[in-house]
Amino acid sequence: MGVITRFAPSPTGFLHLGHAASALFAWRQAQEEGGTFLLRIEDIDSSRCRSSYVTQIFEDLRWLGLHWPQPVLYQSQRMAVYRQALDVLQAKGLLYPCFCTRKEAVLSAPQEGDEAFAVYTGACRNLTTPPPLREPALRLDMQKACALAGPLSWYDAACGRVVEADPARFGDVILARRDIKTSYHLAVCVDDAAQGVTLVTRGEDLRAVTDIHCLIQTLLDLPRPAYAHHPLLRDEKGQRLAKRDQSLSLGALRQKGLSPQAVIEQACFNQG
């Protein structure tokens, strides 16, 4: 079957040049090795996702010349599968309900000056009487989970070396949000395994959380794919391209008269 890669956009806006770069990176890794490129729609957050964006994603990717096997996997249709995965972790005593609001949960010791690295205080970890009338999120008891999993590592296919994983630095991450009952971390691990993905390609902004994904894979007894993270495209000010910046959306570039080939060249220019 060969290598299986995937592009997994969230349909919360139009794809831009950076997404094209990411999709093409996955596409090329599959093509170079006679493998398969899959598409997955990461639409667990129904308040932010729109079906019109999904339609546009298909159109944009086809315009770039990409194709993928059917059926496309929609995460919104897999809530029962995520629930089962949570049940497995719960049965191992690794989850606890967290009633903190976002504000309360924020967060003891931000590391590396980056809010994404802020760590939960653990206020709800040993709660005996839960506060009534508030839906809880489910957090992973990181210390217990790491003790159970033992040493972890993943293969960085971009650098050709094995990387030691240190998920503990993220603290007790949320695996089921109170509003959507699952999370990116849980769903991405469950679905990469379900789709037989052997090489996860994605932007370097997600490199660090690969450590969390290794832990979840081990706890759920899922296979570990290899990973290749690519640099993010940036604008002339050095800012990451964002979905809200419509000027570089693929639709806008197409309307300006750019050919798919010109967009592909622009998208891949910075990827080396």
Site for ligand GLU, rule CB under 6 A:
8-10, 42, 188, 202, 206
The DSSP result for 60-75, as a single string, is HHHHTT---PSSPEEG
State in angstroms the smallest separation of the CB of 185 from ligand GLU.
9
Q: How far is the CB of 7 from ligand GLU (least distance, A)?
A: 8
**Interatomic CA distance for residues 173 and 185, integer angstroms:** 9
| CA separation for the pair 175, 181 (Å, rounded) | 8
Q: What is the DSSP letter of 40?
A: E
We find the least distance from the C-beta atom of residue 115 to ligand GLU, in angstroms, to be 17
Nearer to ligand GLU, 10 or 266 (CB): 10
5/2 Cα distance (integer angstroms): 10
Q: What is the rounded CA–CA span in Å between residue 267 and residue 239?
A: 15
> Given the complex with ligand GLU, which of 40 and 139 has the nearer CB atom?
40
Nearest CA-CA partner of 50 in 243, 253, 203, 185: 243
Tell the smallest beta-carbon distance from residue 65 to ligand GLU (Å). 21
Is the Cα torsion angle 182, 184, 186, 192 positive or negative in sign? positive
Q: Are 11 and 53 in contact (CB under 8 A)?
A: yes
Decide whether 123 or 209 has the Cβ nearer to ligand GLU. Answer: 209
* Closer residue to ligand GLU (CB): 92 or 207: 207
CB 13 to ligand GLU: min, Å: 10
In the complex, the smallest distance separating the C-beta of residue 188 from ligand GLU, rounded to whole angstroms, is: 5
Find tokens 């729109």 and name the residue: 50
Q: How far is the CB of 195 from ligand GLU (least distance, A)?
A: 12
121 Ramachandran zone, left/alpha/beta (phi>0; psi -120 to 50): alpha
CB of 160 to ligand GLU, least distance (A): 21
Q: Rank residues 139 and 213 by Cβ distance to ligand GLU and give the closer one.
A: 213
Fill in the amino acid letter for 121.
Answer: T
Order of strands across the sheet that contains 137-140: 95-98, 137-140, 174-176
**Closer residue to ligand GLU (CB): 176 or 212:** 212
Please say which residue, 9 or 171, places its beta carbon nearer to ligand GLU. 9
CA 209, 210, 212, 216 dihedral sign is positive
Q: Which is nearer to ligand GLU, 13 or 122 (CB)?
A: 13
Q: What angle do CA 83, 85, 86 make, to 5 degrees?
A: 65
Phi and psi at 196, nearest 5°, equal 70, 25
